[in-house]
Amino acid sequence: MSYWRERAASAIEQAISTINVNLENLSEQDKQQLKCVIDAAYPFRTRKNHPYQIWLDERQKAFERLGIINERLRRKSTASSIAIARDLTVPGQQSLF
């Protein structure tokens, strides 16, 4: 694990441990509170470049693990970006020819 990934994962875990909620059964309010606490725990100076990208990746993994964001939605958006990268049409996109 890289230095940036370890620091990001550690900061997220520390932020989660500060909240006194039942992680097995989160209400919408608990999910929103966890999101805010995790976002506030950003351990690096500026939100740009490689450390920020690693932070976003670790944040996404934590959100999926906690059930804050559905993993299925992430896969759907990834599939659309892959289609664009391969120069294929995206579902719902009109063809020029």
Classify residue 50: in a domain, yes or no: yes
Classify residue 14: in a domain, yes or no: yes
Mapped onto helix, strand or coil, the DSSP state of residue 68 is: coil
- Amino acid of residue 14: Q
The pLDDT value given to residue 82 = 54
For residue 59, how many other CB atoms are within 10 A of its CB?
Answer: 21
| pLDDT value at 28 more than 90 | no
Look at the block and give the residue holding tokens 């990001």.
8
The pLDDT value given to residue 77 = 55
Classify residue 59: in a domain, yes or no: yes
- The tens digit of pLDDT for each residue in 37-92 reads 999 999 999 999 999 999 999 999 999 988 887 655 555 555 555 555 555 667 77
- Amino acid of residue 32: Q
- Amino acid of residue 11: A
| pLDDT value at 10 more than 70 | yes
Classify residue 64: in a domain, yes or no: yes
Domain count, the chain: 1
